[in-house]
A and B are shown apart, each in its own frame.
Chain A
Amino acid sequence: EAGVAQSPRYKIIEKRQSVAFWCNPISGHATLYWYQQILGQGPKLLIQFQNNGVVDDSQLPKDRFSAERLKGVDSTLKIQPAKLEDSAVYLCASSRRDRRYNEQFFGPGTRLTVL
């Protein structure tokens, strides 16, 4: 079974530029998460999808971040315009739609550097 796929693995941009990250979850996983991990900290949720609907986006900086999950499978996270403090690793995770068993599996992440 293939794991969670993410691309690109690395991205360097100038501040005020835009950037997009892509995630393909494990086949059959209805729930998809985007987390942001700043150096030296644990990952923190940005947005959670159930199929193609948003479950929780309370921590997403909506003035600059947006995310979508077309057809309930792949997802794209966009930052526009980027700020220096957005430098972080962006992790995508997925889990089955099961409130009693929802082990989450993570992709390799995208390391973003904003100069």
Chain B
Amino acid sequence: GIQVEQSPPDLILQEGANSTLRCNFSDSVNNLQWFHQNPWGQLINLFYIPSGTKQNGRLSATTVATERYSLLYISSSQTTDSGVYFCAVSQAGTALIFGKGTTLSVSS
């Protein structure tokens, strides 16, 4: 099956810093999503991005499908950005396969 690797596993930042999270996947996919899991366990959809670049406020994401990786950029981080960030992929019509996540801690 498809393997999904996320890096770094843990990230500690001061408020206002920028960060880049990486997701590598082992096969071609039709779907790639980034999620933020908040302290209450809710998975919040950040981006649906099987290819290309998208931006939403302080967050942006880029997927290079031909090279099988995706990047999530967080600029001017805030304490509310803390939590676990998951990358997940799927092929046509199948369920998502998740990476192990990146745990982000932002301190004030």
| Contact surface of A with B, Cβ cutoff 8 Å | 31, 33, 35, 37, 41-45, 48, 55-56, 89, 91, 93, 99-106, 108-109, 111
Contact = CB atoms under 8 A, between A and B. Distances in A.
Contact of B31 (A41, A43, A48, A102): A102
Interface residues of B, number: 23
A103 B31 contact: yes
A44 to B, nearest CB: 7
Contacts, number: 61
A42 B42 contact: no
B33 A103 contact: yes
A56 B100 CA distance: 22
A99 B41 contact: no
B45 interface: yes
6 contacts: A43-B96, A44-B98, A100-B30, A102-B92, A108-B40, A108-B41
Q: Is the interface of A mostly helix, strand, loop or mixed?
A: strand
Interface string B84-100: 00101010111110111
Interface string B48-83: 100000000000000000000000000000000000
A48 B42 contact: no
Contacts of A103: 31, 33, 45, 48
